[in-house]
Amino acid sequence: MSEPTIEAAHVVLPCSEPLSTTLNFFLDLGFKVRTIVPADHPRIAVMQGFGLTIRLDCSSVAPPAHLRLLTTEDAPRTLVAPNGSVIEFVPNNPPLTIPPLLEEFVLTRAPASDSEFGEGRAGMNYRDLIPSRLGGRFIASHIIIPHGGPVADYVHFHNIRFQMIYCYRGWTRVAYEDQGEAMLLQEGDCFLQPSTIRHRVLEASDRLQVIEIGCPAEHETWGDPTTTLPTGLTLPDRGYGPDGHRFVFHQAATATWAPWRLNGYEYRDTGIGAAMDGVAGVRVVRPLTSPAPVTTQHTAEFVFHFVLDGGITLRRADDAPVRLGEGDSFVMPAHMPYTLSGPTPDLQLLDVTLPDLV
């Protein structure tokens, strides 16, 4: 015998008699009656509205419900139905909230094992590189997919100020809205995912590792089952989200290098600064020969470094020097002098700043 096919779903709510008291409350909200049973003494009513089907049942012992109705209103409000159910009205498109920045120095060491990664979305495991999230303003994640093959992802998008993906190890194939066919992101490559761009991770290599940085730390991820990727369009200049930022696919193999903001180093620019009109910048840095120690400080909102390869020594003010190696990372707050010295010849340093700093 084959399994039954589900054709509809009802949310069952209790209701005291007369049923009309609660029924009229929901009708005033805009729900429409689909079924009344029995007609001479109603005890059950089925209503539909706003993508929801509600079944009021005077014989039900189910508890009252909490329903969220998404509206065009600017501020949330709450009503209580005659059956005790809470009806919450919330804005359908609330403005993105950026928490105040709580600056601090953060040093995170490379993981000793995969046990330091926690389970995340779509079979991906996450390691938090900024545990404090700087007050909720920024998140930096080291993400690993242990076993390669198809990824259990779905078409989705984020409501976000800034989000980038850097391929640290391995490769992954991702499809993006209106950006042509699915793209192969390989070690050293980088994506800028502007707010609201639809995308889907299709497959990955064994032990794929990426570095993902976003603002704010907690943001909405929305599934979009109505969009199929690829869309068949290639619109490289399209702007996404309220700020009109552009998508970026930076490929390390074709990158060019230029002098960095610190003497003795050069960088390859990912193009994210230009695509975000200077809001953020992402670069990969390497030493030129054997640079002398260089002391610096900044006035930016956010400066983050991740050691991709090799090693370098970090010293803050009068603190003892700290040797950094592959997989280590740090966040440096504004106005704090620090010195970088002793880079290995193979050093590769991921440099992420808001705003863009060359």
For 89-147, the pLDDT digits (tens) are: 888 877 789 999 999 999 999 998 888 888 877 677 899 999 999 999 999 999 999 88
**Across the strands, what pairs with 355?**
none
**34 is written with which tokens?**
């689909």
Coil vs helix vs strand at 252: helix
Are 144 and 117 in contact, with CB atoms under 8 Å apart?
yes
Question: What confidence score (pLDDT) does residue 190 get?
Answer: 98
How do residues 192-227 score in pLDDT, each as one tens digit?
999 999 999 999 999 999 999 999 999 888 899 999
pTM: 0.84
Kindly state the helix (H) or strand (E) to which residue 24 belongs, with its residue range: helix 19-29
| pLDDT beyond 90 at 8 | no
Q: Are strands 86-91 and 66-71 parallel, antiparallel or unpaired?
A: parallel
Q: Are 351 and 283 in contact (CB under 8 A)?
A: yes
pLDDT at 308 over 80: yes
| Percentage of the residues of the chain whose pLDDT score is greater than 70 | 99
Average pLDDT for the chain: 93
pLDDT at 122: 67
Question: What are 56-74's pLDDT values in tens digits?
Answer: 999 998 899 999 998 888 8
Per-residue model confidence (pLDDT) at position 219 = 87
Instruction: Read off the pLDDT band of 257 (50, 70, 90).
Output: very high
Task: Tell me how far apart the alpha carbons of residues 3 and 146 are, in angstroms, rounded to a whole number.
Answer: 34
Please give the pLDDT value at position 137. Answer: 97
* Interval 20-41: pLDDT, tens: 999 999 999 999 999 999 988 9
Q: What are the structural domains, with CATH classification, of the chain?
A: 11-91 (3.10.180.10), 106-229 (2.60.120.10), 254-354 (2.60.120.10)
pLDDT at 249 over 80: yes
Q: Give strand pairing partners of 334.
A: none
Band (246; pLDDT cuts 50, 70, 90): very high
| Angle CA 219–223–229, to nearest 5 | 120
Whether residue 271 is predicted with pLDDT greater than 90 in this model: the reply is yes
Say whether pLDDT at 1 is over 70: no
CA distance 299 to 322: 23
For the CA atoms of 285, 289, 290, 294, the dihedral, rounded to the nearest 10 degrees, stands at: -40
